[in-house]
């Protein structure tokens, strides 16, 4: 098993080696990549003509350590659209460097991917959100970035993109519109939201005071992933669509007896994962 390292392992040459290794082993040339969040790996089950690469077999690739994350790259067809699906992602809280967390995104770019769909399980911060809602990510707050943890810190290789990338257009407007349309067609409109995702490092869930801060920051949902991948993807010009499944509600009231826990997160994803999968499956054909 790979020991999470603090060193940057995502130089252009490292990523290129990994991408080239994959390109000689599969004939597929996906234009769409999907990152499956906690409990959402079943999306990969819907893929036909599968070609599966366990992370530990891929040179340069980190390996996954969280329960509920399978840890493999799946190439194949979703409704006849070629795509590559990451079943199991890397979290900063696992001890990986922020550069390692974004390694797969840069590999996707070098594979020729143009669109990235990121999914995650998130806590509802907006008081009107319900457990089981699907949120189209409209924007994000990079809280670790505020504190110096950005995947773009360090030497900038122009082959990935510019030193100071724009983030005001991080979540593609056309893809968001398409996602909302598709959700209504798939009868998911009743539990659809559009909002702001805030990343925290975790692995603790938020204190009550922290949840109150997030609300005041303008966050609608909070989670421990996604933002580094999106930052890296935007730097190298990938279009991004983000979808959060609201699996629990952040506690903002000192009189509440509710407590966030990982089992609840997995149970909720189990219930609504199917809807989210259906949504992504139909969306992919329209991209």
Ligand X SMILES: *[C@@H]1O[C@H](CO)[C@@H](O)[C@H](O)[C@H]1NC(C)=O
Q: Which is nearer to ligand X, 86 or 136 (CB)?
A: 136
- Catalytic residue flag (residue 209): no
99 is catalytic: no
Least distance from ligand X to the Cβ atom of residue 193, Å: 5
254 is catalytic: no
CB of 124 to ligand X, least distance (A): 9
* Given 38, 64, 150, 211, the catalytic residue: 38
The nearer residue to ligand X, 126 or 182, going by C-beta atoms, is: 126
Cβ closest to ligand X, residue 220 vs residue 229: 220
CB of 176 to ligand X, least distance (A): 14
The residue at minimum Cβ distance from ligand X is 126
- Smallest gap from residue 281 Cβ to ligand X (A): 25
Q: Which residues neighbour 105 within 8 Å (Cβ) at sequence distance 6 or greater?
A: 33, 116, 229, 232, 233, 236, 238
Q: Among this protein's residues, is 229 annotated catalytic?
A: no
- Work out how close the CB of 191 gets to ligand X at its nearest, in angstroms, rounded to a whole number: 11
Is 210 considered catalytic here? no
CA-CA-CA-CA dihedral for 176, 139, 16, 159, to nearest 10 = 110
Q: Do 127 and 42 meet the contact criterion of CB atoms below 8 Å apart?
A: no
Cβ at position 135, least distance to ligand X in Å: 8
How many CB atoms are closer than 10 A to CB 58? 18
* Minimum CB distance to ligand X smaller for 32 or for 135: 135
Applying CB under 6 A, which residues contact ligand X? Answer: 126, 128, 193, 220
Q: Spot the catalytic one: 10, 96, 248, 282.
A: 248
**Catalytic, out of 93, 194, 212, 264:** 93
Q: Is 1 a catalytic residue?
A: no
Question: Which of residues 8 and 252 has its CB atom nearest to ligand X in the complex?
Answer: 252
Nearer to ligand X, 34 or 134 (CB): 134
The answer to whether residue 282 is catalytic is: no
* Residue 121 falls in the annotated catalytic set: yes
Residues annotated as catalytic (active site), given as ranges: 38, 69, 91, 93-94, 121, 224-225, 248, 262
């Amino acid at each position: 098993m790979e020991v999470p390292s603090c060193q940057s392992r995502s130089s252009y040459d490292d990523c290129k080696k990994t991408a080239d290794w994959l390109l000689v082993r599969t004939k597929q040339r996906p234009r769409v990549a999907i990152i499956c969040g906690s409990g959402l790996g079943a999306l990969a089950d819907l893929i036909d003509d599968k070609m599966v690469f366990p992370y530990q077999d891929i040179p340069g690739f980190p390996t996954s350590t969280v329960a509920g994350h399978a840890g493999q790259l799946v190439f194949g067809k979703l409704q006849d659209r070629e795509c590559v699906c990451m079943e199991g992602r890397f979290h900063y809280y696992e001890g990986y460097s922020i550069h390692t967390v974004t390694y797969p995104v840069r590999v996707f770019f070098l594979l020729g991917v143009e669109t990235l769909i990121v999914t995650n399980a998130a806590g509802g911060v907006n008081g009107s959100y319900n457990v089981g809602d699907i949120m189209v990510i409209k924007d994000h707050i990079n809280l670790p970035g505020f504190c110096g943890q950005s995947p773009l810190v360090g030497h900038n290789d122009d082959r990935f993109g510019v030193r100071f990338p724009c983030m005001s257009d991080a979540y593609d407007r056309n893809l968001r519109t398409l996602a909302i349309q598709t959700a209504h067609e798939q009868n998911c409109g009743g539990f659809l939201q559009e909002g702001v995702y805030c990343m925290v490092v975790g692995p603790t869930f938020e204190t009550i005071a922290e949840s109150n801060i997030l609300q005041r920051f303008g966050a609608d949902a909070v989670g421990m992933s996604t933002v580094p991948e999106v930052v890296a993807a935007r730097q190298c010009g990938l279009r991004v669509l983000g979808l959060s499944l609201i699996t629990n509600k952040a506690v903002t009231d000192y009189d509440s007896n509710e407590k966030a826990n990982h089992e609840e997160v997995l149970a909720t994803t189990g219930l609504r994962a199917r809807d989210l999968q259906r949504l992504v499956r139909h969306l992919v054909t329209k991209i």
